[in-house]
Amino acid sequence: MSWALVAGGSKGIGFSIAEALAKRKYNLLLVARNHDDLILAKKTLEKTYPVEVETLTCDLSLTESTIKIHDWCNDKGCKVNILCNVAGSGGSGDFPELPVNEVSTMLRTNLESTIALSTILIPQLKTNAPSYILNVGSLAGFAPILIKSVYASAKSAVHSFSYSLRYILKPDKISVSCLCPGPVFTKPSIVNETMKQMGWLGKHMALEPGLVGELAIRGLLRRKMIIVPGKLARLISYILRILPDQFIAYLIYSFRK
Ligand SMILES: NC(=O)c1ccc[n+]([C@@H]2O[C@H](COP(=O)([O-])OP(=O)(O)OC[C@H]3O[C@@H](n4cnc5c(N)ncnc54)[C@H](OP(=O)(O)O)[C@@H]3O)[C@@H](O)[C@H]2O)c1
């Protein structure tokens, strides 16, 4: 049976992605920091779907975690052919107030772990091809967002990396997709922040994590490159991709003054 590794699969969008895979009978390897949340996710999924779920507690912002995850997969002897790099966070602070250690953690969790895990698991994915990589970016990664500049920069790099990887891995039958959601109401802090910063637009663009997970896996298995769930978010993503970055940055700057 095929196995999928979901880095950041215990809660939120990651859990919904894991659930959408379990529905399609993929066994799961879930990684996150909180042990209790992982066990709860494992019990919920194994009770509902005919799948096996293994869990690993580890912090993806630490460089050594990549090797730990790689060795864990090898020791389990699971045939991984789907890798989902979901873990990440926007946090509430931004440059220049955000302390430099928190900036580093944000970059390592959102970007470095995505690149490192993809790199170290490529041999396994090649052996078990046809395989899939799903990297989680964000609508924020399509533009320089002045109030989320570190997060938007990290996600923009995730998008860019995913585009390159897609063509690099094409001959190896590994398909690469990038999920770029607008607001997803995974926790109260995101609901509050979305309503405060985006008002009407945020309310109408926001989606529930269950739907986002399902659309992400549908898009992944159809080998879509960019997956933006929701009609309004998709429309905004097209506009953001057409407009020059300089213009968007100036527009946000002018609104904030
Ligand atoms: N929610 C949104 O509005 C939204 C919009 C666009 C993009 N995204 C992106 O979607 C992804 C998931 O967001 P979410 O809202 O679903 O987040 P979430 O509810 O906080 O879930 C994040 C998942 O990743 C794990 N995780 C976080 N940091 C980790 C670390 N350092 N090491 C290992 N595991 C870690 C969490 O478990 P532990 O806390 O136990 O580690 C959890 O399983 C992120 O990349 C985010 O940037 C979210």
63: Cβ contacts below 8 Å, ≥ 6 apart? 108, 112, 116
Candidate from 86, 94, 228 with most ligand 1 atoms within 8 A of CB, to mutate: 86
Strands (E), the chain: 3-7, 27-32, 53-57, 80-85, 131-136, 174-179, 226-227
CA of 145 to the centre of ligand 1 (A): 19
68, with CB counted inside 10 A (0-12, 13-18, 19+), is middle
Domain that holds residue 30: 3-256
Residue 186: band (very low, low, confident or very high) from pLDDT cuts 50, 70, 90? very high
Q: What is the CATH number of the domain that holds 177?
A: 3.40.50.720
- Please name the amino acid found at residue 165: L
6 pLDDT higher than 90: yes
CB 38 within 8 A of CB 14: no
Please tell me the total count of domains within the chain: 1
Q: What is the pLDDT of residue 14?
A: 98
Is residue 90 within 6 Å of ligand 1 at its C-beta?
A: yes
Q: What is the pLDDT of residue 95?
A: 85
CA of 254 to the centre of ligand 1 (A): 31
Is residue 8 within 6 Å of ligand 1 at its C-beta?
A: yes
Nearest alpha carbon, ligand 1 atom 19: 12
Residue 243: band (very low, low, confident or very high) from pLDDT cuts 50, 70, 90? very high
Q: 141-182: per-residue pLDDT in tens?
A: 999 998 899 999 999 999 999 999 999 999 999 999 999 999
Q: 58-111: per-residue pLDDT in tens?
A: 999 999 999 999 999 999 999 999 999 999 988 778 888 999 999 999 999 999
User: DSSP secondary-structure letter at 170?
Assistant: G
Is residue 125 within 6 Å of ligand 1 at its C-beta?
A: no
Structure tokens at 111: 């970007």
Is residue 109 within 6 Å of ligand 1 at its C-beta?
A: yes
**Distance from C-alpha of 246 to C-alpha of 249, rounded to nearest angstrom:** 5
Q: 19-67: per-residue pLDDT in tens?
A: 999 999 999 999 999 999 999 999 999 999 999 999 999 999 999 999 9
* Dihedral sign for Cα atoms in the order 41, 44, 49, 50: positive
CA of 35 to the centre of ligand 1 (A): 15
Structure tokens at 190: 């995101």
Q: How many residues are there in the chain?
A: 257
To the nearest whole number, what is the mean pLDDT of the chain? Answer: 96
Is residue 33 within 6 Å of ligand 1 at its C-beta?
A: yes
Q: 7-19: per-residue pLDDT in tens?
A: 999 999 999 999 9
Is residue 138 within 6 Å of ligand 1 at its C-beta?
A: yes
140 pLDDT higher than 80: yes
**pTM tops 0.95:** yes
